[in-house]
């Protein structure tokens, strides 16, 4: 085992778990689309080395409204995230990174 010392500024986890038809899961509420939008945004914004976006299995908050999204190191957990709310996540990430860069000089 080898410890990795490099860490991203932000790590966004997006549940894209699939269940059979009729059962609540993030894939039925656009989890994959949300993951894809955030991943593509990080890449197109030149942030992919600082902001990692990872799709996950079930995070334990399955529902029929929206996906579960987690942001580290902030330890922010959101459930029922709708695709039209992804901009709020992007805004939070950008604001947070700008503050971190401003504080570091
Ligand atoms: S399927 Fe996404 S939280 Fe359970």
**pTM for the complete prediction?**
0.94
pLDDT tens figures, 10-30: 999 999 999 999 999 999 999
Nearest-angstrom CA–CA distance, 87 and 51: 15
> Which positions ≥6 away from 94 have C-beta within 8 Å?
none
State the distance from the centre of ligand 1 to the C-alpha of 102, rounded, in angstroms. Answer: 36
pLDDT value at residue 105 = 66
Residue range(s) defining the domain that contains residue 60: 10-103
Do the domain assignments include residue 58? yes
Please list the residues that pair with 18 across neighbouring strands.
none
pLDDT value at residue 101 = 77
Do the domain assignments include residue 52? yes
Do the domain assignments include residue 82? yes
**Taking CB atoms and a 6 Å cutoff, what residues make up the pocket around ligand 1?**
15, 17, 25-26, 58-62, 68
State the distance from the centre of ligand 1 to the C-alpha of 35, rounded, in angstroms. Answer: 13
Do the domain assignments include residue 4? no
Work out the burial of residue 59: count CB atoms within 10 Å of its CB; fewer than 13 is exposed, 13-18 middle, 19 or more buried.
Answer: middle
Task: Give the number of domains in the chain.
Answer: 1
Average pLDDT over residues 38-66: 97
Give, using CA atoms, the residue closest to atom 1 of ligand 1: 25
Q: Which atom of ligand 1 is nearest to the CA of 17?
A: 1
Do the domain assignments include residue 3? no
Do the domain assignments include residue 17? yes
């Amino acid at each position: 085992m080898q410890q990795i010392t490099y860490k991203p500024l932000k790590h966004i986890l997006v549940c894209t778990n699939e269940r059979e038809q009729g059962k609540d899961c993030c894939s039925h509420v656009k989890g994959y689309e949300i993951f894809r939008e955030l991943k593509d945004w990080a890449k197109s914004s030149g942030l992919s080395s600082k902001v990692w976006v990872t799709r996950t299995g079930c995070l334990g908050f399955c529902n029929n409204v929206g996906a579960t999204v987690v942001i580290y190191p902030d330890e922010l957990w959101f459930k029922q995230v709708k695709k039209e709310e992804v901009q709020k996540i992007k805004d939070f990430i950008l604001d947070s990174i700008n503050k971190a860069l401003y504080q570091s000089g």
